[in-house]
């Protein structure tokens, strides 16, 4: 089934998906930097997966981070990532 050209991929502000993926495998990043980048990726995924008009919760971000990136986040880290995403999205 061909992909409709009218469906545009979401736009990413801040870090790109290449940066999120690189954070998974980059040996030069310290653990704090890696976790911060992946937390933003988890928040971005949670936002994209939320039902239209719904705002993802910190628990949504925590679940996505663990499921997709094997990254254990606490509520403060998840909240901070959601706030950063909302700032960059305006």
Give per-residue pLDDT as tens, 43-83. Answer: 999 998 888 888 899 999 999 999 999 999 999 999 999 99
4 CB-contact burial (10 Å; exposed 0-12 / middle 13-18 / buried 19+): exposed
Please say if the pLDDT value at position 9 is more than 90.
no
Predicted pLDDT at 51: 84
What pTM does this model have? Answer: 0.75
Contact 85, 61 (CB under 8 A): no
Domain ranges of the chain: 40-90
Q: Fill in the DSSP letter of residue 29.
A: S
Please say if the pLDDT value at position 6 is more than 50.
no
CA distances from 9 to 4, 12, 15, 17, 47 (A): 11, 9, 16, 12, 14
Give per-residue pLDDT as tens, 20-41. Answer: 777 877 777 788 888 888 999 9
Please say if the pLDDT value at position 5 is more than 80.
no
CA distances from 43 to 1, 11, 40, 81 (A): 30, 14, 5, 6
Predicted pLDDT at 76: 95
Q: How far apart are CA 28 and CA 46, in angstroms?
A: 27
Which comes out higher in pLDDT, residue 2 or 60?
A: 60
How far from the centroid of its chain's Cα atoms is residue 86's Cα?
Answer: 11
């Amino acid at each position: 089934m061909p992909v409709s050209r009218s469906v545009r991929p979401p736009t990413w502000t801040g870090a790109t998906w290449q940066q999120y993926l690189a954070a998974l495998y980059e040996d030069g990043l310290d653990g704090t930097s890696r976790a911060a980048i992946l937390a933003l990726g988890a928040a971005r995924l949670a936002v994209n997966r939320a039902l239209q008009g719904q705002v993802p919760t910190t628990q949504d971000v925590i679940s996505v981070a663990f499921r997709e990136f094997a990254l254990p986040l606490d509520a403060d880290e998840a909240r901070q990532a959601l706030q950063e995403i909302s700032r960059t999205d305006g």
